[in-house]
Chains A and B, each alone.
Chain A
Amino acid sequence: MAEMDTSSGGGHKKGPGVKKAKKLSTRVDLTPMVDLGFLLITFFVFTTSMSQPTGLKMFLPKDADKPEDQNKVKQSAVLTILLGKGDNVYYYEGELALDASNFKSSSFKDIRDVVLNKKRNTDPKDFVVILKPNDECTYKNTVDILDEMAINDVKRYAMVDIADVENQLIKATEQSSGVK
């Protein structure tokens, strides 16, 4: 491939009897070396793991037994997000109405707008999001909703155990919409 022209370009002729030393080529055929190089590259490309796992920080609140120790939040500034099975998201603003009229279904696609809307319409210093995953939602959903809080830059949010009433509402909604 990469040979050098060893024949001297017909120049100076030496006298008779002077033997011409044969010049050896200094070039090496590099093709096998390139082959080997790319083989190794492909090997390392496939085995390498570029992305380091990240750690999503989470702080748990200390359980406050006495009601006076508990954090108070303004009802109107609260958005409660409930997570059910099958990647379904439910939410309500403020307090859950007795007839559950403000209980709405949503999805992970739409919940961002809901959060942003609520955020825009409330005083930033009161705004709180309460997350209530139920036992049937997946760990992925839980992390996704926490991530959603980071994406929407929600400063105050808390993960709270779900109440029975809410769980029943989710169950009823799931049944009526046929979620398995």
Chain B
Amino acid sequence: MPKVKVPRKSTTIDMTAMCDVAFLLLSFFILATKFKPSEALEVKTPTSVNTKAAPEKDVVMITIDKEGKVYFSMSEKEKKEAALETILASKGLQMSAEAKKVFGKESSFIGVPIANLPSYFGLSEEEAKKVALPGIPVKDSSNNELNDWLRAALSAYEGEKMNLLVKGDNASQYGIFKNVINAFKKNDLLKFQMVTDPEGIPAGSELSKKQIKGEKLD
């Protein structure tokens, strides 16, 4: 019986196609990537079925962390500085030029009572990291500093639209949120948005029926 010759096949593969795919994916991810800004405050936001993206410009953000501390931040540098001037002037406080520079940084936020502002922003970066932030006092109505900040922000944004955002942590209590809302109401700010993570619409619910029918969701 003659031996059947098995042709020896090469073990090498042409890598070109694989390389193409790899770089296609790579370029996609590079373009789609938006680096998360390193956040000094860690806040886990709740989820909602809402699909509208939160605004990114002209943001005035109130952050509530899981211990119920309230922080205040603004996205536009000029407005933030204007608000600071208003606050300092109204409280009769002085702040050095360097402290103001630190304050003007994009990632800076306000997490100390107004009286501590000059000393806190006068600290160096390393020192500031060590300080435990007490948050803005909101609890009692006589000393609600969030109120002052909102008023200052409003005057900085006078005649322009500002986007008021509340970013709360899952574990924070409603009581704090209520205090924040009360501060909004005092300043006649009746429209705001809550930052949430997107989540799927439950199947079979009224909203999903509406979506299937092609109605506009708001």
Q: A residues bordering B, Cβ < 8 Å?
A: 1-3, 29-31, 33-34, 37-38, 40-41, 44-45, 47-63, 83, 112, 116, 133-144, 146-147, 150-153, 161
The smallest beta-carbon distance between B38 and chain A, in angstroms, is 12
Q: List 8 A-B contacts (CB under 8 A).
A: A2-B16, A47-B35, A57-B191, A58-B193, A133-B174, A135-B175, A139-B170, A152-B205
Residue of B nearest to A142 (CB): B174
Contacts A37-B26, A135-B175, A139-B170 given; 9 further ones with Cβ under 8 A?
A34-B18, A37-B19, A38-B22, A51-B198, A54-B195, A61-B190, A151-B205, A151-B206, A151-B207
Give the contacts of B2-46 with A (CB-CB under 8 A).
12-16, 18-19, 22-23, 25-26, 29-30, 32-36, 45-46
**A interface secondary structure, majority:** mixed
Query: Interface digits, B146-167 against A, CB 8 Å rule (1 contact, 0 not)?
Result: 0000000000000000010100
- A44–B29 Cα distance when bound, in Å, is 6
- A59–B198 Cα distance when bound, in Å, is 20
**For this complex, into which size category does the number of interface residues on chain B fall?**
35 or more
- A153–B207 Cα distance when bound, in Å, is 6
The answer to whether B190 touches A1, judged by C-beta atoms less than 8 angstroms apart, is no
Residue of A nearest to B186 (CB): A63
Residue of A nearest to B53 (CB): A52
* CB-CB under 8 A for A151 and B49, given A48-B29, A48-B33, A53-B54: yes
Choose one: B35, B55, B207; the contact of A152 (CB below 8 Å): B207
Residue of B nearest to A136 (CB): B173
* CB-CB under 8 A for A60 and B198, given A1-B13, A136-B174: no
Query: Interface digits, B82-104 against A, CB 8 Å rule (1 contact, 0 not)?
Result: 00000000000000000000000
Q: Which residues of the partner chain A approach B202 to less than 8 Å between Cβ atoms? A: 151
The smallest beta-carbon distance between A177 and chain B, in angstroms, is 20
The answer to whether A31 touches B15, judged by C-beta atoms less than 8 angstroms apart, is yes
Q: Which residues of the partner chain B approach A147 to less than 8 Å between Cβ atoms? A: 46-50, 196
The smallest beta-carbon distance between B47 and chain A, in angstroms, is 8
The answer to whether A136 touches B36, judged by C-beta atoms less than 8 angstroms apart, is no
- A18–B196 Cα distance when bound, in Å, is 78
Give the one of B23, B55, B194 with max A CB within 10 A: B194
The smallest beta-carbon distance between A137 and chain B, in angstroms, is 5
Choose one: B25, B176, B193; the contact of A55 (CB below 8 Å): B193
- A41–B201 Cα distance when bound, in Å, is 30
Residue of B nearest to A51 (CB): B198
Give the one of A55, A60, A144 with max B CB within 10 A: A55
Residue of A nearest to B30 (CB): A44
Binds A, one of B72-80, B111-119, B122-130, B177-185: B177-185
The answer to whether A153 touches B54, judged by C-beta atoms less than 8 angstroms apart, is no
- A31–B19 Cα distance when bound, in Å, is 8
Any A CB within 8 A of the CB of B145? no
Q: Which residues of the partner chain B approach A140 to less than 8 Å between Cβ atoms? A: 46, 170-171
The answer to whether B171 touches A58, judged by C-beta atoms less than 8 angstroms apart, is no
Q: Which residues of the partner chain A approach B173 to less than 8 Å between Cβ atoms? A: 135-139
The smallest beta-carbon distance between B56 and chain A, in angstroms, is 9
The answer to whether B49 touches A139, judged by C-beta atoms less than 8 angstroms apart, is no
The answer to whether B33 touches A44, judged by C-beta atoms less than 8 angstroms apart, is yes
